[in-house]
Amino acid sequence: MSEHVDHNSALQAAIMLAEECLEDALADKLRAAAAELERLEELERANRDVHNSHSLMVRRLDTALNGEGAARQASLCDIVQQMESRPAVPAEVEELVARIAGWTCDCEYRNGEKCDACEARDVLAKHGEGEG
């Protein structure tokens, strides 16, 4: 009978060890999943920030081109089409319009220097004044 008890004790000990291993593995998997979820949420927030900044820059460019009566939901494609249908513009303006996709700054000035968006707005405003 003692062999049977020893066998049962060994079996119980093996089951307990297996359960502990499974709990540890599950806890590790849950921690990894939580970290991955946090990483993905941060990427989604960053993507949303870039999208919002891009939309703001498109709106500012549309307003610079068309005044306060500019369309509320203009897209970059709309602005490019509008620019392509206009008479030739100075190369400086074309270069700034082409760089819009990289604009992320929504400030007026950065360390005393104008960002590309602010510089483009000023150039486009001057170009628009010259047409009138």
Backbone angles phi, psi at 42, to 5 degrees: -65, -40
> Which tokens in the block code for residue 48?
């949303």
pLDDT per residue over 29-87, tens digit each? 999 999 999 999 999 999 988 888 888 888 888 888 888 778 778 888 888 888 888 77
Question: Can you give the pLDDT at residue 33?
Answer: 94
| Measured CA angle at 95 (ends 117, 83), to 5 deg | 90
Q: Which of 10-19, 36-45, 71-80, 123-132 has the lowest mean pLDDT?
A: 123-132
| Single pTM value for the model | 0.45
Confirm if 72 and 110 have CB atoms less than 8 A apart.
Answer: no
In the chain, DSSP assigns E strands to none
Q: Please tell me which residue, 85 or 109, carries the higher pLDDT value.
A: 85
State what percent of residues in the chain have pLDDT above 70.
Answer: 62
Q: Is the pLDDT of residue 120 over 70?
A: no
Confirm if 76 and 58 have CB atoms less than 8 A apart.
Answer: yes
